[in-house]
């Protein structure tokens, strides 16, 4: 087969190098847009297709350069001596030797992507540079695109770690000439077939590893919908889908006019939430509903403003009336569940206080201790007071988890049920156990903050949280629902 010549790019960029003391990188610093140099208007179909092929080749060349950047940065992040895990990697961790276990977090921080995506990029880059030089060379020359290079690395990298390099390089040489002619899935199947031809069968190891990733997750969608995902062995997944489909078609045969997809979704929910086995223990969901209280009322009257005012006894009485107007008999916690009332500033979105229904009623009955029976502007409720110990109080746990809702690490979506309350300024360094110094961090990012070197963490009294990497890249997050000031940088 005749090998294509490396693409010669007709793109020129004006890149100005700056001193390290100058402002952070801005894409606008690259100069004018590419279309200013290479106008699209007036090109023929042939010229447009040729240009698309050149752009694709250039993207491959950039991807090859990106792998070098990633591995070079990883080399600047040695393992943390004080880390409990040291150099031992767990499932899903990046397999880079002599590299900090927190490197994927920093890479995701820099590229604004998830840790999973950063881990995959780091691992793929390492495999291409250390074990698959021919694949990486074709990528850097613009002769192989990133999805196919990634697929080759996925098959001949970590899963084939015990396969002799001679066999890996032989299979690599056999599949590379055809790599751009076949689909990515076909390419992976071809690699597995060539490994089998050389006496290497990794199917059982791949199956065992795949089974360890089984899980059920929920991804929020639009207009009040969400996607329930179950990753199962193919036999189980097919059986579940078939059972749901059979029940849905029974309903359809009985005359239900709704679309078959809607019926499948309803059947699945019924099978899970209303099982036939009545002997099982009931499960009560714990839900947090965040909404303006006036939006829940049938007459849609506005709730009293909180806007910076103290939360007075009179205001609490108005809120309690609003709660009672939501549903007959008043809004109460479900059986076995809980109900917390979050009082939020409607202008800034800042959380002011979190109370239970019982606490709210008690405060209304008690009123202001300084002016019993008389209206006043004295505050009777605010965020929990600081405590003179390391462990936060129950009220602080409730307030901070309600304020943060997820891990506050930029881009992390782990729910607060799996998060720790961390002192932004360490307690051992004089940091108070106060809501202004506590934020939710999942266990991984809590450990990163404790053990990784060179990171800087800052939080304002209102919970605006800024994380700066060892290389000086900063990302800022606001508590959900708050409104950043007009001069604040955009959130992560």
Q: Can you say how many angstroms the Cα of residue 69 is from the centroid of all Cα atoms in its chain? A: 23
Predicted local distance difference test score (pLDDT) of residue 21 = 45
Count of alpha carbons within 13 Å of 90, Cβ hemisphere only? 7
Predicted local distance difference test score (pLDDT) of residue 5 = 46
The C-alpha torsion from 398 through 403 and 405 to 409, rounded to 10°, is -120
Tokens found for residue 64 = 């090859």
Q: Are 56 and 145 in contact (CB under 8 A)?
A: yes
375 C-beta neighbours (distance < 10 Å), count:
12
Straight-line distance from the first to the last Cα atom of the chain, in angstroms, rounded to the nearest whole number: 48
Predicted local distance difference test score (pLDDT) of residue 67 = 96
Exposed / middle / buried, residue 234 (Cβ in 10 Å: 0-12, 13-18, 19+):
exposed
Count of alpha carbons within 13 Å of 154, Cβ hemisphere only? 15
Exposed / middle / buried, residue 22 (Cβ in 10 Å: 0-12, 13-18, 19+):
exposed
- What residue segments make up the domains of the chain, in order of their start? 27-198, 215-273, 293-366, 394-477
Q: Can you say how many angstroms the Cα of residue 226 is from the centroid of all Cα atoms in its chain? A: 16
244 C-beta neighbours (distance < 10 Å), count:
18
Rounded distance, CA 65 to CA 381, Å? Answer: 57
The reported pTM is 0.73
Reading the chain (492 residues) residue by residue, the pLDDT tens digits are: 344 444 444 444 433 444 444 455 566 656 677 888 888 888 898 989 899 999 999 999 999 999 999 999 999 998 877 654 444 444 434 456 678 889 999 999 999 998 889 999 999 999 999 999 999 999 999 999 999 999 999 999 888 888 899 999 999 999 999 999 889 988 999 999 999 999 988 888 778 877 888 899 888 888 778 899 999 887 788 888 888 888 888 888 989 999 999 999 988 888 888 776 666 555 555 555 555 555 545 554 444 334 445 556 666 666 666 666 656 666 666 666 677 777 777 777 788 888 777 777 777 777 777 777 667 666 667 788 999 999 999 989 989 998 998 899 998 888 887 789 999 999 999 999 999 999 999 999 999 999 998 999 999 988 999 999 999 999 999 888 776 655 555 555
93 C-beta neighbours (distance < 10 Å), count:
16
Tokens found for residue 346 = 């409607």
């Amino acid at each position: 087969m005749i090998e294509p010549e490396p693409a010669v790019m007709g793109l020129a960029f004006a890149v100005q190098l700056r001193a390290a003391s100058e402002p952070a990188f801005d894409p606008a610093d690259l100069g004018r847009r590419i279309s200013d140099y290479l106008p699209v208007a007036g090109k023929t179909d042939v010229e447009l297709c040729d240009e698309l092929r050149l752009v694709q080749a250039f993207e491959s060349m950039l991807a090859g350069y990106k792998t070098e950047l990633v591995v070079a940065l990883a080399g600047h992040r040695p393992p943390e001596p004080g880390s409990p895990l040291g150099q031992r990697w767990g499932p899903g961790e990046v397999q880079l030797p002599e590299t900090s276990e927190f490197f994927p977090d920093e890479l995701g921080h820099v590229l604004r992507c998830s840790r999973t995506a950063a881990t995959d990029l780091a691992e793929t880059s390492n495999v291409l540079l250390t074990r698959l030089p021919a694949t990486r060379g074709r990528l850097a020359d613009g002769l192989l695109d990133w999805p196919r290079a990634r697929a080759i690395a996925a098959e001949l990298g970590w899963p084939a770690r015990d396969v002799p390099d001679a066999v890996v390089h032989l299979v690599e040489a056999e599949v590379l000439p055809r790599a751009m002619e076949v689909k990515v899935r076909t390419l992976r199947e071809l690699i597995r077939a060539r490994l089998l031809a050389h006496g290497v069968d990794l199917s059982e190891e791949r199956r065992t590893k795949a089974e360890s990733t089984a899980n059920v997750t929920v991804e929020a969608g639009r207009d009040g919908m969400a996607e329930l995902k179950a990753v199962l062995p193919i036999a189980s997944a097919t059986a579940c889908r078939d059972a749901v489909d059979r029940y849905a078609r029974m309903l359809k045969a009985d005359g239900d006019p709704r679309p078959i997809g809607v019926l499948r979704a309803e059947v699945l929910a019924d099978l899970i939430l209303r099982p036939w086995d009545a002997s099982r223990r009931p499960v009560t969901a714990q839900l947090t509903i965040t909404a303006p209280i006036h939006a829940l009322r049938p007459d849609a009257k506005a709730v009293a403003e909180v806007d910076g005012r103290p939360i007075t006894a009179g205001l609490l009485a108005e809120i309690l009336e609003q709660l009672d107007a939501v549903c007959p008999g008043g809004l109460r916690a479900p059986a076995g569940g809980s109900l917390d009332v979050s009082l939020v500033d409607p202008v800034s979105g800042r959380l002011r206080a979190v109370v239970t229904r019982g606490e709210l009623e008690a405060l209304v009955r008690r009123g202001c201790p300084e002016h019993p029976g008389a209206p006043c502007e004295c505050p009777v409720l605010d965020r929990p007071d600081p405590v003179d110990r390391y462990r936060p109080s129950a009220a602080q746990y409730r307030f901070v988890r309600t304020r943060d809702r997820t891990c506050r690490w930029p881009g992390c979506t782990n729910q607060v049920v799996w998060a720790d309350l961390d002192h932004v300024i360490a307690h051992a360094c004089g940091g108070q156990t106060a809501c202004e110094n506590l934020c939710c961090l999942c266990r991984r990012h809590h450990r990163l903050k404790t053990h990784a070197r060179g990171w800087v963490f800052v939080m304002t009294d209102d919970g605006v949280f800024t994380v700066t990497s060892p290389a000086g890249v900063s990302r800022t997050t606001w508590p959900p629902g708050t409104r950043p000031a007009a001069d604040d940088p955009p959130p992560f």
